[in-house]
């Protein structure tokens, strides 16, 4: 894997490769008679929400994107896989089903310990989980992931370019053995690494490697993701992390009515869409009522980079708008039963 510019120059080459998916705990799935998730949208399903309704027990584990780069990338994947509006609906329902942690390690560890049925993870976190607890498995959502190359490159400012090239050559050949250490569990970018003594001892990673190179991935636009990244992170935090308790109250009420037969499948879908669709809010810069579209997120990300003080203002407006929506839906549900 390489990144090549328009002039044919190589910017970087991959030193290792990675995918994004989720790690399931089959003991928990069996205990609660839950379906095994196969797609990102499964993580926001009513079925995974049943233990939340019955025991106040979330079955999914995720992290705050403002504190996790890998989870930020997974949320960006979901937004591109499902489209902006439906992507936010899926993210909202997933958050409603989730125990939201500060970091990706804590989220992963919940699956290892059996506190949840599934945690979203970068692949090597999943492989480590499988070593720590044989009841866990890392699952790649087919057609809804990306195969990332983690790069190594020579800087144009290097004082010792020949030594640097030698180091890069080592990393791409004999140095690939580092990924096989039990505490690292990465996939090498060079398949010949499995011919090294260390590689021959990792038949588990070889099996994963052989599968992953044939995975149908998502056509992911990295530049598109970067253009909206900061706005996406803080919108997620304001509407889903900061209002986690209220969001779960609405979701539990909605599911309890659904499981009791008081609302139909169609109504459940309607309320789910309303719960997660991008907000309309008062723009703290212009004072106008606007919708949080993808182009709006791009505008906000650019504005925050120029003036970081705006970040808190947008967070307050989004939090206010989300709280208003959640309470309005909760009131409607209370009148149903």
In tens, the pLDDT along 215-239 reads: 878 889 989 999 999 999 999 999 9
What phi, psi does 20 have (nearest 5°)?
-130, 135
Task: Provide the pLDDT confidence category of residue 132 given band limits of 50, 70 and 90.
Answer: very high
Domains recognised in the chain with CATH numbers: 1-219 (3.40.190.10), 222-336 (no CATH)
Angle at which helices 222-236 and 294-306 cross, to 10°: 80
Task: Provide the pLDDT confidence category of residue 6 given band limits of 50, 70 and 90.
Answer: confident
Question: DSSP of 250-285, one letter per residue?
Answer: HHHHHHHHHHTTSS-HHHHHHHHHHHHSPPEEE-TT
Task: Provide the pLDDT confidence category of residue 5 given band limits of 50, 70 and 90.
Answer: confident
pLDDT of residue 3: 84
Q: How far apart (Å, rounded) are the C-alpha atoms in residues 88 and 73?
A: 14
Give yes or no for a contact between 17 and 187, defined as CB atoms under 8 angstroms apart. Answer: yes
Q: How far apart (Å, rounded) are the C-alpha atoms in residues 186 and 189?
A: 9
Give yes or no for a contact between 121 and 195, defined as CB atoms under 8 angstroms apart. Answer: no
Q: How far is CA 22 from CA 130, 143, 226, 253, in A?
A: 12, 14, 23, 27
Task: Provide the pLDDT confidence category of residue 214 given band limits of 50, 70 and 90.
Answer: confident
Mean pLDDT of 9-25: 94
- Answer whether residue 213 shows pLDDT above 80: no
């Amino acid at each position: 894997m390489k990144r090549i510019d328009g002039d044919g120059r190589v910017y970087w080459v991959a030193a290792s490769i990675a995918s994004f998916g989720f790690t399931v705990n089959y003991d928990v799935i069996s205990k609660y008679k839950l379906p095994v998730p196969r797609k990102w949208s499964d993580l926001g399903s009513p079925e995974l929400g049943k233990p939340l309704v019955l025991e106040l027990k979330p079955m999914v584990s995720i992290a705050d994107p403002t504190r996790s780069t890998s989870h930020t990338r997974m949320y960006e994947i979901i937004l591109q896989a499902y489209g902006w509006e439906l992507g936010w609906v899926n993210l909202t329902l997933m958050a409603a089903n989730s125990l939201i942690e500060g970091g990706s390690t804590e989220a992963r560890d919940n699956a290892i310990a059996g506190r949840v049925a599934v945690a979203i993870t970068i692949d090597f976190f999943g492989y480590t989980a499988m070593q720590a607890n044989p009841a866990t498995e890392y699952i790649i959502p087919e057609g809804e992931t990306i195969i990332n190359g983690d790069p190594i490159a020579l800087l144009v400012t290097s004082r010792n370019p020949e030594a640097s090239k030698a180091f890069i050559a080592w990393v791409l050949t004999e140095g690939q053995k580092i990924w096989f250490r039990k505490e690292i569990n990465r996939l090498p970018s060079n398949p010949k690494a499995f011919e090294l003594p260390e590689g021959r001892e990792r038949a588990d990673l070889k099996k994963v490697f052989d599968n992953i190179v044939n995975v149908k991935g998502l056509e992911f636009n990295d530049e598109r993701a970067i253009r909206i990244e900061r706005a996406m992170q803080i919108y997620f935090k304001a509407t889903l992390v900061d209002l986690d308790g209220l969001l779960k109250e609405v979701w539990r009420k909605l599911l309890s009515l659904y499981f009791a037969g008081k609302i139909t499948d169609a109504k459940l879908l309607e309320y789910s869409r309303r719960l997660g669709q991008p907000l309309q809010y008062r723009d703290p810069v212009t004072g106008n009522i606007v919708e949080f579209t993808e182009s709006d997120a791009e505008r906000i990300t650019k504005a925050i980079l120029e003036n970081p003080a705006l970040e808190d203002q947008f967070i307050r407006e989004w939090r206010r708008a989300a709280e208003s929506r959640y309470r309005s839906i909760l009131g409607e549900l209370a009148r149903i039963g």
